[in-house]
C-alpha cells in the first residue's frame, strides 16, 4: 500500500525538495505551508509519517509534535535549521522518531523516511489483526509486552501508546533481560543499519520508557543504568 507522508514546511524550496524526493520514492505526499491544517489531515486517519519543520510561521514544529502525540503514534521526523543537541533531545523526548538538520541531501531524507517507516510502529487495533497467531508475550511487573501484536498492555489489559523506537528498545531489553546491553547493542536493535541519530538517543528513549512504565528515574527497578556499561532490564520476565 502506498504510504502517505505529510510535510509541514513553510520554506518553498525545502518543501519542493521534500516533495520531489519523496514523490520519487513512490510516497503519496500532502504538503502544508503551516501547522494550521495538520489536524484536518491527521483526521483522515491514513497518515503514515509527518515531516515537521521546527520554525513555522504559526505553531512551531515541537508544539505540533506534542499535540499530535496526544492522540496519535504516527511516525514523526523533525526537520530543523538548528542542529544543536538541546533541540534534538527535546524533539526526541517529546516523541519524534528522528531529527534531520538542514541543509540535507535528498538521499539523506529518503533514507531516514525509509528507516522510520520500516521500523513500523505500534498501532491500536493491531492485536485484532493478529488474532489466532501464536503470540509472543512477555510479562513483567504489571505489564505484558506482546511482540507479535507490537503492543504493551497494563494489568487491566489497556494498551499503552509507544513510538516505534520505544517499542524496539523495550523489545530488545525484555527479550535479553538480566544481561548488560551496551548503547551500541541497543542502537543496533532499535535502528539496525540505518544511520544512528546520535548516541544520546538511547538515553532519551530509555528516559521516556521509564516514564511510561512508571519506573522511578532516580531509583529505577525495571531498566537500570550500568555505569560505563549501558542498561540492564532487571525486572523478572515471565514468558507466556
| Closest CB to Ca ion among residues 11, 126 | 11
Q: How far is CA 54 from the centre of its chain?
A: 17
Q: Which is nearer to Ca ion, 11 or 25 (CB)?
A: 11
Confirm or reject binding of residue 53 to Ca ion (CB under 5 A). yes
**Residues that contact Ca ion, how many (by CB under 5 A):** 4
Please give the radius of gyration of the chain, using alpha carbons only, rounded to the nearest integer.
18
Contact stretch for Ca ion (CB under 5 A) within 48-56, 133-141, 154-162, 231-239: 48-56
User: Is residue 139 close enough to count as binding Ca ion by CB under 5 A?
Assistant: no
Q: Which helix (H) or strand (E) holds 103?
A: none
Q: How far is the CB of 116 from Ca ion (least distance, A)?
A: 21
* Number of residue whose CB is nearest Ca ion: 55
Q: How far apart are CA 119 and CA 28, in angstroms?
A: 19
Residues between 7 and 46 with contacts to Ca ion, criterion CB under 5 A: 10-11
Exposed / middle / buried, residue 68 (Cβ in 10 Å: 0-12, 13-18, 19+): buried
* DSSP strand pairing (4-8 vs 49-53): parallel
C-alpha cell at 217: 528515574
Q: How far is the CB of 95 from Ca ion (least distance, A)?
A: 20
Q: Is 55 an interacting residue with respect to Ca ion (CB under 5 A)?
A: yes
- Enumerate binding residues for Ca ion (CB under 5 A): 10-11, 53, 55
Amino acid at each position: 500500500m502506498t504510504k502517505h507522508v505529510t510535510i509541514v514546511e513553510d520554506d518553498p524550496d525545502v518543501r519542493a525538495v521534500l516533495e520531489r524526493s519523496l514523490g520519487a520514492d513512490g510516497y503519496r505526499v500532502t504538503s502544508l505551508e503551516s501547522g494550521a491544517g495538520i489536524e484536518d489531515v491527521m483526521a483522515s486517519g491514513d497518515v503514515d509519517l509527518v515531516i515537521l519543520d521546527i520554525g513555522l510561521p504559526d505553531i512551531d514544529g515541537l508544539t505540533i509534535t506534542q499535540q499530535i502525540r496526544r492522540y496519535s503514534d504516527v511516525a514523526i521526523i523533525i526537520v530543523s535549521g538548528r542542529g544543536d543537541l538541546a533541540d534534538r533531545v527535546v524533539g526526541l523526548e517529546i516523541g519524534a522518531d528522528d531529527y534531520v538538520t538542514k541543509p540535507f541531501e535528498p538521499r539523506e531524507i529518503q533514507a531516514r523516511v525509509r528507516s522510520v517507516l520500516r521500523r513500523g510502529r505500534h498501532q491500536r487495533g493491531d492485536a485484532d489483526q493478529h488474532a489466532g497467531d501464536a503470540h509472543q508475550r512477555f510479562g513483567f511487573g504489571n505489564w505484558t509486552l506482546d511482540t507479535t501484536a507490537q503492543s504493551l498492555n497494563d494489568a487491566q489489559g489497556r494498551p499503552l501508546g509507544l513510538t516505534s523506537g520505544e517499542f524496539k528498545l523495550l523489545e530488545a531489553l525484555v527479550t535479553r533481560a538480566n544481561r548488560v546491553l551496551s548503547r551500541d547493542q541497543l542502537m543496533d536493535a532499535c535502528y539496525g543499519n540505518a544511520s544512528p541519530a546520535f548516541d544520546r538517543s538511547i538515553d532519551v528513549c530509555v528516559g521516556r520508557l521509564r516514564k511510561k512504565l512508571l519506573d522511578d528515574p532516580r531509583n529505577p527497578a525495571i531498566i537500570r543504568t550500568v555505569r560505563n556499561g549501558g542498561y540492564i532490564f532487571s525486572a523478572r520476565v515471565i514468558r507466556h
